[in-house]
Amino acid sequence: MIQPPLPDVRVLGREEASALLDEAGYSIGQWANIVYRNKIDRDRKNWDCIRIPTKGNPAQLLLFAQKLIDWLPESTRYIVQFDHSSRFSADQLIAFSVAIPRHELVHINKCAAFCFKGELDSTRLALAYVSLFCLMFEGHGYIASLGAHAGNYLGLQDGFVYIISKKKTDVIKFKKLLEAGEHMTPQWAVDYCQKYQNDQF
């Protein structure tokens, strides 16, 4: 089987990261997190979120992480932003080298933003690994597609996933995505989304 080429991953300066996020309707928040650019959109009553606690073995978490990335709008470019609370050990940083070049790893603990660009499947797999290690090591990261105007994005904090969207229906669609496919995602994730759906409707 021929493997697709690895995506181009580049660390961004704050100005460039802000400009790219601005084009997609986002901005960098006070704690170096990703937020909606528009003040009205940032009002909590105008966006919805599922907060999912994660558990399970690495194989289950990787499958779950792939579903997370599949939920994002397809794009040729994605941005990953680490916030002020991200502090990974040297050993933990090495794990990220499967997705981020080794010479750029030092920037993760400096609230850096990274742009991922390349063939869709390989880019999404790299982002899934970033999500996996953020969850395993309980770091803080945010992932947004730069190919669509502000809508759905991910927050990863302290082992929790935040599925964030301005449309409640898009949040509900994440549960359907979990249930789809040949290999079922971990049941704990499906159950948690079902509980959210029952509470909302």
Q: Is residue 100 one of the residues assigned to a domain? A: yes
* Amino acid at residue number 121: D
Quote the Cα angle for 189-133-140, to 5°. 85
The total of structural domains in the chain comes to 1
Instruction: Tell whether 115 is covered by a domain.
Output: yes
Task: Show the CA angle centred on residue 111, arms to residues 21 and 85, nearest 5°.
Answer: 115
Q: Residue 80 class from Cβ within 10 Å (0-12 exposed, 13-18 middle, 19+ buried)?
A: buried
C-alpha dihedral, 126 to 177 to 76 to 18, nearest 10°: -80
Stated pTM of the model: 0.89
CA-CA-CA-CA torsion sign (155, 51, 129, 72): negative
**pLDDT for the residue numbered 200:** 60
Q: How confident is the model at residue 158, as a pLDDT?
A: 92
Backbone phi, then psi, for 155, in 5-degree steps? -120, 135
**By residue range, what is the domain housing residue 31?**
8-200
Is residue 1 assigned to a domain? no
Q: Give the helix/strand (H/E) hosting 142.
A: strand 140-145
Element (H, E) at 42: helix 39-42
- Report pLDDT for 1: 42
The verdict on residue 156 lying in a domain is: yes
pLDDT for residue 89: 94
Q: What pLDDT is stored for residue 157 in this prediction? A: 93
pLDDT at 54: 86
Largest CA distance in the chain: 48
Which pLDDT does position 197 carry in this prediction? 67
Per-residue pLDDT of the chain (201 residues; tens, 9 = 90+): 445 567 999 999 999 999 999 999 999 998 899 998 888 777 877 788 888 888 778 888 898 999 999 999 999 899 999 998 888 999 999 999 999 999 999 999 998 999 999 999 999 999 999 999 999 999 999 999 997 776 899 999 999 999 998 887 787 788 778 777 655 677 777 777 777 666 664
